[in-house]
Amino acid sequence: MTTDDDAVTRIEQRLDLEIAATARRLAELVEQRAAMAADAKPTADVVDELRQAAADMGISVFEDTVSEADAARLLGRSFLTLRNRRLADQPIPFERVGRSVRYKLQVLAKHRGTGT
């Protein structure tokens, strides 16, 4: 065996170790994701909580949507945060009704508590 063959063998061994470590990490992440999904509340429950919070805050809900300002209140954020994200092409999914922007409660439920 030549020096080049030894170098190739060492590189292959190092790559095999890195692949095995990556596979272990991926398995850990898949387990964590499954555990988080099991702990997560069903979306319907969160939507009901948002609907109740909207009623408590005096927010009108029309066809399960709320205005941009009301969506921000429900998420505990400034309406400017939602607007800036929308204008920066990083929006929470929304609908346009004429000139107004509306957010579905189901979409807000997914983004509640995520810091957005």
90 in the same domain as 66: yes
What's the confidence (pLDDT) of residue 106? 92
**CA atoms of 82 and 88, how far apart (whole Å):** 10
Count other Cβ atoms within 10 Å, centred on residue 2: 7
**Are 53 and 90 within one domain?**
yes
- Dihedrals phi, psi of 108, to nearest 5 degrees: -65, -35
Which CA distances in Å does 59 have to 28, 68, 95? 42, 11, 18
Average of per-residue pLDDT across 20-44? 79
**Mind listing the pLDDT tens digit for each residue in 72-111?**
999 999 999 999 988 898 888 999 999 999 999 999 988 8
Establish if 82 belongs to a structural domain. yes
Residue in the block written with tokens 């005096």? 58
One domain, residues 66 and 91:
yes
Number of domains in the chain: 2
Report yes or no on 48 lying in a domain: yes
pTM of the model as a whole: 0.61
Question: Do 34 and 88 sit in the same domain of this protein?
Answer: no
Q: Nearest-CA neighbor of 43 among 109, 87, 112?
A: 109
Give the integer Cα–Cα distance in Å for 43 and 28: 25
Q: Are residues 92 and 77 in the same domain?
A: yes
Q: How far is CA 95 from the centre of its chain?
A: 18
Q: Which domain holds residue 36?
A: 1-40
